[in-house]
Amino acid sequence: MHAIFVLALLTLFSIFVLCSTESSGTTGNPCCSSPCQNRGVCMTKGFDHYECDCTGTGYSGENCTTPDFLTWIRLKIKPSPNTVHYILTHFKPVWNIVNNIPFLHNFVMRYVLTSRAHLIDSPPTYNGHYNYKSWEAYSNISYYTRALPPIPKDCPTAMGVKGKKELPDAKMIAEKFLLRRKFIPDPQGTSLMFTFFAQHFTHQFFKTDHHRGPEFTRGLGHGVDLSHIYGETLDRQHKLRLFKDGKLKYQMTNGEMYPPTVKDTGVHMLYPPHVPEHLQFAVGQETFGLVPGLMMYATIWLREHNRVCDILRQDHPEWDDEQLFQTTRLVLIGETIKIVIEDYVQHLSGYYFKLKFDPELLFSQRFQYQNRIAAEFNTLYHWHPLLPDSFIIDNTEYGYQQFLFNNSVVMEHGINNMVESFSRQIAGRVAGGRNIAPAVLKVAVASIEQSRQMRYQSLNEYRKRFLMKPYKSFEDLTGETEMAAELEELYGDIDAMELYTGLLVEKPRSNAIFGESMVELGAPFSLKGLMGNPICSPEYWKPSTFGGESGFEIINTASLQKLVCTNVNGKCPLASFQVIQPDPSETATINASASRSAQDVSPTVLLKEHTSEL
């Protein structure tokens, strides 16, 4: 009897141990809690143990939390990102002096570039499928890369170990925290000229393949290649080319150059059936017929390409069509990078320090001239709050229904009036929440859902990855109490706050368009992508690459204003990413006739797959 009792106890104990062992293997990956700090790499060892690889981090210890002596010194003297931002956006007299002393100016600019770009892994490390380093994650360029690996699939909660088991409904989150109640203008004074530039520029490398999934890109390039002007494929490029003097095809209307039509080129474009043939313009990006602001920039760059071709042909009458075309493309890539750094990023930064495009600043640095677009960069660039409630061109107001797929706006108003008008109209503030227009809210819902499909880590994990202190509470994140309390009830823990939603509800910096996280995450991706372009390398950055001194001069003197002025007839309009205050006596009226090619178009057309990236 005693033996039977002992046997029964041993059997029960064995079952308990077995169940406990099986349970420990299903409660979650030990790396779910992101135990490795300061860019240490978490590696599982068995089902319930992990090991942190602290190599090259400047830290040691079980979780990479003990700083080496030099790291400790650096931490003691290094100012916080907000302190650096404050210094760069104040003390204007001091920065005026720095801007005018070449060696000081170059020193600061070199630091800005290297301190940002070195935060981006090169070569790439992870993608949406692999949360560990692999040859596939490195070599398969059909994936976006990742700054942080995906959350393991076997974690106890959606965000790892923190927060509630399931995330709140995406549509409810968008309606409650992102939907505009009343238009909030950007206190930094960003114009719609900036808004459409951002949308036009980024579509050359943000090309999510929605049929395969949000972790994939349809793009063949991962940087500034101007495929949105010349086409992604050689076939599309050839259909757009004139094959004479290096030029692109065009049509002339009232003495001005405009893109050719789909009928004349055979190029595939996304237009609804109601758009008449003569207004179906053909350009490098198939989605650019969506709104007139995109076609405005497409027209300006078409004119610039053909203008540069004429200049190079004068210098090189011996060159054939192919060499003129290829060299002109390199010149336009250089112009684009210079405009983005010195006009676009300069405006966003709000710095009194003058940013400078000079590839030679990095020639003595450890720098890799290659780039892979990160999924997180694509996600954070969904700046839909920039869009206003309506669009005003030359005193005529267009609602979304009138604006979509309406190239007649470009023809009727002309590039001059569009540039002037968009430079006068203010865009919306991106940070702070509740500022996305109803017409594009579904795109924000899709962004939340796709972010979850990508299993992004929390906003706080990204803040730590990009050298910011994690937020301690929802009030710390939003800077107020009402929204913070609602977010806490839904998410349960600040360490479970999602990346995309967190970026949009984050409190903005003082009188700024963005919060700290958006800037500190976005700037490294941006500057690495720009300066990592092959034309910035020592092998390319020389006059002969660009057709000689004439082409080199076009790049080195490029600006948004010059781009516009050299490509319009008559008086040049003032082109600015900073809003130009309108004349108070001007009033806007609805122009029903101008919307004739956009009739019956619902605002939800904006929400088709190809519009998910602003």
Active site residues: 203, 381
Contacts of 103 (CB under 8 A, 6+ apart): none
What is the rounded CA–CA span in Å between residue 412 and residue 391? 15
Q: Write the single-letter amino acid at 47.
A: F
- DSSP string covering 47-69, please? SS-EEEE-TTTTEETTTT-EE-H
322 burial type by CB count under 10 A (0-12 exposed, 13-18 middle, 19+ buried): exposed
Closest listed residue to residue 386, CA positions, set 498, 518, 285, 279: 518
Strands (E), 204-262: 251-253, 256-258
What phi and psi, each to the nearest 5 degrees, are found at residue 394? 50, 50
Which DSSP string corresponds to 142-208? TB-EESSPPPPTT-SBTTBSSS-SSPPPHHHHIIIIIB-SS--B-TT-BBHHHHHHHHHHHTTT--B
Separation CA 419–CA 432 (nearest Å): 28
Cα–Cα distance between 157 and 168 in angstroms, integer? 12
Handedness of CA 445, 447, 450, 456 (dihedral sign): negative
| Tokens standing for residue 273 | 């059936």
- Cis peptide preceding 123, ω within 30 of 0: yes
Report phi then psi at 23, rounded to 5. Answer: -65, -40
Q: Give dist(CA 177, CA 170) in Å, integer.
A: 11
Separation between Cα atoms, residue 331 and residue 315, nearest integer Å: 14
Residue 421, CA atoms < 13 Å, CB-side half-sphere: 23
Collapse the DSSP code of 398 into the 3-class scheme (helix H, G, I; strand E, B; otherwise coil) and give the result: strand
Cβ-contact 474, 487 below 8 angstroms = yes
Residue type present at position 111 = Y
- The Cα 559–Cα 126 span in angstroms is 36
CB proximity list for 585: less than 8 A, separation 6 or greater: none
Nearest to 370 by CA among 76, 124, 9, 94: 124
Cα–Cα distance measured from residue 41 to residue 521, given in angstroms and rounded to the nearest whole number: 20
Distance CA 152, CA 141 (A): 22
Contact (Cβ atoms closer than 8 angstroms) between residue 298 and residue 286: no
Q: DSSP labels for 507-541?
A: PBPTT-SSBHHHHHHHHHHHHHHHHTSGGGSTTT-
CB 350 within 8 Å of CB 188: yes
Residue 171 to residue 176: CA distance in whole angstroms: 8
Token pair recorded at residue 450: 């796709």
Tokens coding 562? 């010059």
The single residue listed with the structure tokens 């005018």 is 100
